[in-house]
Amino acid sequence: MNNTPNSSQSAEANPSDASPNPQASSPSGRCAFESLCSAAKEGAHRAKATAERAIPKITAAAWCATYWIGYGASFATVFSYGMARELAPEALKAGCREGAEAGRKAAENLSAKLRAQFAKQDASPPNNPDPSSSATQPGAA
């Protein structure tokens, strides 16, 4: 339902205002694309307002999803561990304990070796020759 008058009715009501040139009919000499620019600005304003209303809803949904993912993962982990701990035979429990301890020691030893190797590389000077030296470089003519 549009309350604006029909353009043919306004032309008939005011024949002096009707002119074939649309730029001549506007008192300020607006360009023909002003309505397009105005519509684009109005659309951008509406989109911004809609986004501002949607952001809190999206944030709440992301928080809720993150919460339930964390809840589900921790529940599954603890439940599985609890069931395995209760139902596993003592030999399996002892093997898991000893295997976990051996794995921890192996990881500590490997990380110590890697730290020592990186420390050696950082302390040693680079093996690159000095470019200012008068030695002949390959490819030089």
DSSP 84-126: HHHHS-HHHHHHHHHHHHHHHHHHHHHHHHHHHHHHHHHHSPP
Structural domain range at position 39: 25-87
- Look at the chain and report how many structural domains it folds into: 2
133 lies in a domain?
Answer: no
Same domain flag for 82 and 98:
no
Same domain, 83 and 93: no
Calpha distance 70→62 (Å, rounded): 12
d(CA 65, CA 71): 10
Same domain? For 102 and 83 the reply is: no
6-25: pLDDT as tens digits: 544 444 444 444 444 544 45
Band of the pLDDT at 39, cuts 50, 70, 90? confident
Task: Kindly report the pTM of this predicted structure.
Answer: 0.37
Burial 101-137 (b: 16+ CB within 10 A, else e): eeeeeeeeeeeeeeeeeeeeeeeeeeeeeeeeeeeee
Indicate whether 81 and 30 sit together in one domain.
yes
